[in-house]
Amino acid sequence: MRHIKLDKGANGVATITLDNADESMNVVSAEWLEEMNAAIADLREDAAVTGAIITSGKPAFMAGADLKLMVEGYGTLTPHEAYEFSQKATAMHRALETMGKPVVCAMNGLALGGGFELALACHHRVIVDDPRAVVGLPEVNLGLLPGSGGTQRLARMIGSKKALDLLLSGRSVGPAEALELGIVDQVVPAGQLLAKAHEWLASGPSAARAWDEKGFFMPEMRGMIVPEVSMGYSVGVAKVAGKSGYNYPAPGAIMSCVFEGLQLPFDKALSVESKYFAKLLTDPVARNIIRTTFISKQAAEKGARRPADVPKSQVAKVGVLGAGMMGAGIALVSAKAGVEVILIDRDTATAEKGKAYSEKVFGKQVAKGQMTQDKADATLALITPTDDFAKLEGCDLVVEAVFEDMNIKAETTKKAEAVLPSGAIFATNTSSLPITELARASARPEQFIGLHFFSPVDRMGLVEVIKGKQTSDETLAKSLDFIGQLRKTPIVVNDSRGFYTSRVFRMFIFEGAAMLEDGVEPARIENAAKAAGFPIGPLALLDEVTMELPVKIVEEAANDASTVNKYTIERGMPVFARMIELGRGSRKAGGGFYDYPAGGGKHLWEGLAKEFPPAAVQPDQEELKKRFLYSQANETAQTLEEGVLETAEDADLGAIYGWGFPVWTGGTLSYIDTVGIEEFVREADRLAQAYGPRFAPSAWLRERAARGEGFYPEPVKA
């Protein structure tokens, strides 16, 4: 056996040790199921075996199914085949809990997804007292639900209310909370794990589950007869819709699964669960979420875009030029990664303010018990605030994060390079200025690169890596190694004004302004954006980033002959101009599209109706949602066509983690594939006729549509 080891003790206790020979983690697979079924059948028939322990030979107990298989399930499995896929694991768990011999699960580490479903199928659960040994059912975050009994066992063990809290949040819990919830039975020191498992088996426990006993029922099993239970589900549906809209089918499926399942005998309930699981597995939303947020993300973090022929490197000392919000954040994450930081600004006092940001963040973490004071002090000691460029001597890499001005950046580059070692990398943190132009100030342009961090740096995981025309493969590789040290997710793009993320993000905010110009009611604009899945409406977002900034970027692009045709804003500028003229260019200015009363909160500015009178006939929400989604997806396709982007994976990662494109879509290019490229082109043509050429597909995109060629390969049926 390659996935488990079966040992039968002289005392009648058998031990199944999960130990996948092919992976670093135990995962659910067809081969593992076969081996488990064989082991269960063996134990059932062996009269000498009186009980069993399931544990792990790896640091973690067990994770869930291979996510690549989940993605492949969409497009290759029919709903019936997906149902059968779920039923295979369900049948194994059911065979385990009904074999007539008590089974205890001894969890030596984390147990998530299918791994925790296995634990739930055991008669008793013991877990080590280790905060890393978390348990949970995170499937909702993948667009799925637990597909091998998890929804039904959990609800019967702790009641639907507590179960739904875990199932709908997908959150993991540590041993103490798991014990309090009743989803584990004992929390023990690591050295006593197996001894306590043997001790429980020696107590002569029952091998039957409560739901298999005659007369078992729960209040929820009476359905509509119990008003408070019915009310709970009704309110729950509203909460789910309010939190995730109607773009994510998994939360609603989980609620229906639990509600229906608790009114049925257990085996019938398991069949209901498999049916809902099959429906989700064959839905594109699950495919989109898993492919981008797990598979593509992990691949990027493991070096998918890193030149393979460059030796691995590590940054021991980094210089950060500019101690404003961005520079302070870059200093913080660098120090947390154990890197020595020289934080430079125009004077030491300003640099010290930048370091104070880290002190404030660490102070909050210490107060919450997330960091020890000693660790905070040691990390802060790595940051040296100064105005002395000479201290950059010995730096492996510098990140320049000064004001977005070509001249200021050029001056800073020259001052730093005068001190830096000959092999040091110079990275500029800019959101829109062309890297090749900025590199003109460098004496070593092949070692010059763009590293576009996102604010706040300590909470945003993406870094957009921009290659200039002369950037070497070695510089790219070393930069990606540094991002890996910071535990962030890189995407790699080629040089262009606005690169990828800033260029496409502008379509969101300008489309919101264009709608206002068209006479769409402001509340309708904001609600449509949130209904599509964006975290915030474009008008509220503009108040935070200030309207002057996007206007400045567009005006700069208009003066650059090489980018004018690629960066033209078709609609919305008059709205920005008028708001700035009125002194309402941002929240900082005292108010923008929203008013911000002194007592807190905010509401749309009443003067908007006068400045931008609403049209007599208002568009429906679906049309507005399409305008947001299509404008950004079409612009992304253009960046791929132009060679700014090189892969669909980078496009989708940048969209989701860079500016909050809705996760259910999988990203801008996944959205086109989900709609279907032929349908996307047809609908984009209609939108172009109705609202303007910004929606018009290029000849390149039309040709792809004519060939039926999306951006990801179609799954192939085995």
Each residue's pLDDT tens digit, 41-99? 999 999 999 999 999 999 999 998 888 878 877 777 899 999 999 999 999 999 999 99
Do residues 449 and 436 lie in contact, with contact meaning Cβ atoms separated by under 8 Å?
no
The pLDDT-based confidence of 221 (bands split at 50, 70, 90) is low
Share of the chain above pLDDT 90, in %: 84
Each residue's pLDDT tens digit, 551-571? 877 777 767 666 545 566 778
Any idea which fold 4-282 has? 2-enoyl-CoA Hydratase; Chain A, domain 1 (3.90.226)
Backbone angles phi, psi at 348, to 5 degrees: -65, -35
Q: How many angstroms separate the CA atoms of 521 and 524, rounded?
A: 5
Q: 401, exposed or middle or buried, with CB in 10 Å at 0-12, 13-18, 19+?
A: buried
* Cα–Cα distances in angstroms (integers) from residue 96 to residues 180, 271, 446, 541, in the given order: 25, 17, 61, 53
CATH 3.90.226.10 range(s) for the chain read: 4-282
Q: How many angstroms separate the CA atoms of 649 and 636, rounded?
A: 12
Q: Which tokens hold the place of 693?
A: 């050429």
Given a cut of 90, is residue 387 above it in pLDDT? Answer: yes
Q: How many CB atoms lie under 10 A from the CB of residue 114?
A: 28
Each residue's pLDDT tens digit, 427-470? 999 988 899 999 999 999 999 999 999 999 999 999 999 999 99
Q: Considering only CA atoms, give the Rg of the chain.
A: 28
Average pLDDT over residues 498-522: 95
pLDDT at 225: 47
* Cα–Cα distances in angstroms (integers) from residue 668 to residues 438, 647, 680, in the given order: 29, 12, 12
Among candidate residues 3, 93, 123, 452, the one labeled active-site is: 452
Q: How many angstroms separate the CA atoms of 403 and 410, rounded?
A: 11
Q: How many CB atoms lie under 10 A from the CB of residue 141?
A: 17
452 carries an active-site annotation: yes
Average pLDDT over residues 215-234: 63
Give, to the nearest 10 degrees, the angle between helix 501-517 and helix 621-642. Answer: 150
Average pLDDT over residues 376-402: 97
pLDDT at 234: 65
Each residue's pLDDT tens digit, 619-652? 999 999 999 999 999 999 999 999 999 999 999 9
* Cα–Cα distances in angstroms (integers) from residue 371 to residues 24, 330, 386, 487, in the given order: 28, 19, 26, 18
Predicted TM-score (pTM) of this structure = 0.92
* Cα–Cα distances in angstroms (integers) from residue 624 to residues 405, 476, 611, 638, 684, in the given order: 35, 40, 21, 22, 13
CA dihedral 346, 351, 354, 356 (to 10 degrees): -150
Q: What is the largest CA-CA distance in the chain?
A: 87
CATH 3.40.50.720 range(s) for the chain read: 317-494
Share of the chain above pLDDT 70, in %: 94
Written as one letter, the residue type at 77 is L
231: CB partners within 8 A, 6+ apart: none
Greater confidence (599 vs 32) lies with: 32
Given a cut of 90, is residue 155 above it in pLDDT? Answer: yes
CATH class of 317-494: alpha beta
Q: Which tokens hold the place of 244?
A: 């995730």
* Cα–Cα distances in angstroms (integers) from residue 559 to residues 273, 339, 426, 465, 556, in the given order: 60, 40, 27, 25, 5
CATH 1.10.1040.50 range(s) for the chain read: 501-643+647-707
501-643+647-707 has CATH 3.40.50.300 classification: no
Give the SS3 label for residue 633: helix
Average pLDDT over residues 117-136: 97
